[in-house]
Amino acid sequence: MSLSTPSRRLPFAAATAIAVAIAASLSGGSQAASPMRDNDPANDVLIDNVRVFDGSRVLSNTRVLVIDGRIVDIGGKAAAPAGVTRVDGSGKTLYPGLIDAHAHSWGEARTDALRFGVTAELDMLGDWNRLPDLKRERESLARTQQADLWSAGAAVTAPGGHGTQYGMKVPALDKDGDPAAFVAGRIAEGSDYIKIILEDFSAHSETRRIPTITHAQAKEAIDAAHAGKRLAVVHVSRMRDGTAAIEAGADGLVHIFGEPADAAFVAAAKRRKAFVIPTLSVLGTMAQAGEGAKLVDDGKLSPWLTKEQRDSLKATFGAGDPHPAVLADAIANVRALHAAGVDVLAGTDAGNPGTAHGVSMHGELELLTRAGLSPSEALAAATSVPARRFDLADRGRIAPGLRADLVLVEGDPTTDIRASRAIVTVWKNGYAVERTRPVAGEAASPAGEALPAQTVLSDFDADAAGNAPGMVPANFGAGWMPTTDRMAGGASTGQIRRIAGGANGSAGALEVSGEIKPGFAFPWSGAMVFPSKVPMQLADLSSRKDLVFRVRGDGRRYALMLFHGNQQMPSMQMFETTADWTEVRVPLKNFPGADLSRVRGLAFTAGNPVGAFAFVLDDVRIE
């Protein structure tokens, strides 16, 4: 049951589509200000005897005074107000709150981020309806338990292209569309910067392709963004697209590619003063390098992880063989860019498998040091550099007048980057963040409904007459239903029906058939079964070891997906079909990062290539 993919080419976000559709210049020296207090002294603090990384420099054995949520003095002699909270920083380092320059934020993401010292995230594709609220929140100095968020809102992408697969209707730029008008629409919605997508999927598959805008359209979109006083950042996964974007005037790339960069690309990035957000964390997932799982095992980080974060860090894109060259090439590319003086920004692409908000930034910092950045340079890549490049004027540094988004850690991360993980205190807007240990509160994520003692989920021997339209009953749970990409705007078709005659002469089986049609980035069609009494509610499979079923079909390769917990990305295995009945046994532990105590459903689906498909299931067991 291993997922075999062509060398260096990996499956990407098709599973996300199903999941979502079914369930979104530094200040220097000592400056003093006259300490003035508001009516809430809780955002006043004096941190004394502390080593400070201010975003570029290290200041030894100094003090930082915060009044009303803003830094008013560094190393000076300004008198602290009576009653101000005093913190002894001996043996510790204070650095600015981290900025994740590439994230996809929903649910508890911003709370998770703040717990790990990430005080701001730059969302690279998200719900544009929340943009006004996000702006109000990040302008406030009120107490909060969430990181601040900037967002690109909707991206500039082709119909059916990358960014359209997440289960909600999004605007897209037609091949004959007007890029300038499209960008103007995003600016009117309040996008903080414009994200442009050049992605045909060729970096991930030898055969699968998805629609993408042209280089000429990208150039027009970049020019329109600049005319609207917005940065233009570009998603790429191939060097050819990265070079084209930079030569077209893009301010930055929001990924580095997992193929070797040539000297011309590096020279163009330097000449054009472009920045790069490598997102090595997610490239590590694509390489099957297990970088996320390593964070789960770190004793400084593990106690602060939620169950969902643990699951996400252990998850992968499919179950293929390792592709170490993907991460190795990406790291080599970052090394070359950094050596040339190109700005490198730390970003994780959190929200994807193998990542988790907040915690993955500490993994990204270590990966950047592997790519040749010094620990101090890696910290700058996560603080002052993104603040400068995205014009986040009041954060990313420790300087008088800036907001007090601060992190205090044991040790010295400017010499050992892993010391960034030994967090003592996080301050947001001058308020100490209430960090709790989610592991001690696992009851917040209870196990799902217990399964009955029987192991046969479906033998299909009973006639489906009288069941809900389109549904086929199971021996327990809510039963089977068809699922297709039509719910997310696709055109694929599919149906399921109970037929007479099953495996080994049994009375019945489940026929699943349909047609995969073009027009959607990641098409699918198939059957889904819910082990709980209510569709998509949680079921506890943790006492079971194997999913077993019999199948015959048309010789296509199919995806078996397990939906669990609050994850948008299901865990996935693949299975083959032949004209003869075959028993398939899949150890449940083989589903990467799956929370077996909180399973929502199992889907048996066809994907690309386009065309008709058909297979028959029987004797589905959870043993």
The tens digit of pLDDT for each residue in 144-164 reads 999 999 999 999 999 988 887
- What sign does the dihedral 101-102-106-109 (CA atoms) show? negative
- Which pLDDT band, with edges at 50, 70 and 90, does 445 fall under? low
Q: What are the φ/ψ torsions at residue 593 (nearest 5 degrees)? A: 70, 10
* Mean of pLDDT values over 435-444: 61
Q: Is the predicted pLDDT of residue 481 greater than 60, yes or no?
A: yes
- 3-class SS string, 379-428: HHHCCHHHHHHCCCCCCCCCCCCCECCEEEEECCCCCCHHHHHCEEEEEE
| Tens-place pLDDT, residues 312-363 | 999 887 656 788 999 999 999 999 999 999 999 999 999 999 999 999 999 9
Instruction: Take residue 131 and report the two structure tokens written for it.
Output: 């943009």
Closest CA to 159 of 411, 451, 483, 489: 489
Is the N-terminal amide bond of 303 cis, ω within 30° of 0? no
DSSP helix/strand/coil, 495: strand
pLDDT at 208 over 90: no
Please state, in angstroms and rounded to a whole number, the distance separating the CA atoms of residues 223 and 215.
12
486-502 pLDDT, tens digit per residue, is: 776 678 999 999 999 99
Look at the pTM and tell me if it is higher than 0.85.
no
The pLDDT value recorded for residue 496 is: 94
* pLDDT above 60 (res 23): no
Per the rule left: phi > 0, alpha: psi between -120 and 50, beta: everything else, 15 is alpha
Look at residues 114, 116, 85, 66 and name the one whose alpha carbon lies nearest to residue 423.
116
Please state, in angstroms and rounded to a whole number, the distance separating the CA atoms of residues 457 and 472: 12
Q: What is the DSSP string of 264-298?
A: HHHHHHHHTT-EE---HHHHHHHTT--HHHHHHT-
Average pLDDT, the chain: 88
The encoded tokens of residue 415 equal: 């010499």
Q: What DSSP character marks residue 542? A: T
Residue-level pLDDT at 10: 36
Domain spanning 14-20+447-622: CATH 2.60.120.260 = yes
Average pLDDT over residues 587-610: 88
DSSP conformation class of 468 = P
Contact 419, 413 (CB under 8 A): yes
The Cα 59–Cα 350 span in angstroms is 32
pLDDT, average across residues 531-544 = 89
Chain Cα centroid distance, residue 286? 13
Task: Kindly give, in sequence order, each residue whose CB lies less than 8 Å from that of residue 580, ignoring residues fewer than 6 positions away.
Answer: 552
Query: What digits encode the pLDDT tens for the residues 277-319?
Result: 999 999 999 998 999 999 999 999 999 999 889 989 998 876 5
Residue range 219-233: average pLDDT?
Answer: 98
Residue 7 pLDDT greater than 50, yes or no: no
Strands (E), 69-187: 70-74, 85-88, 92-96, 98-103, 118-123, 148-151
- 230 or 40: which carries more pLDDT confidence? 230
What is the per-residue pLDDT for 8? 34
The Cα 97–Cα 233 span in angstroms is 23
**Which residues face 427 on adjacent strands?**
406, 432
Q: How confident is the model at residue 570 (pLDDT cuts 50, 70, 90)?
A: confident
* Whether 384 contacts 397, CB under 8 Å: yes
pLDDT in tens, 394-424: 999 999 999 999 999 999 999 999 999 999 9
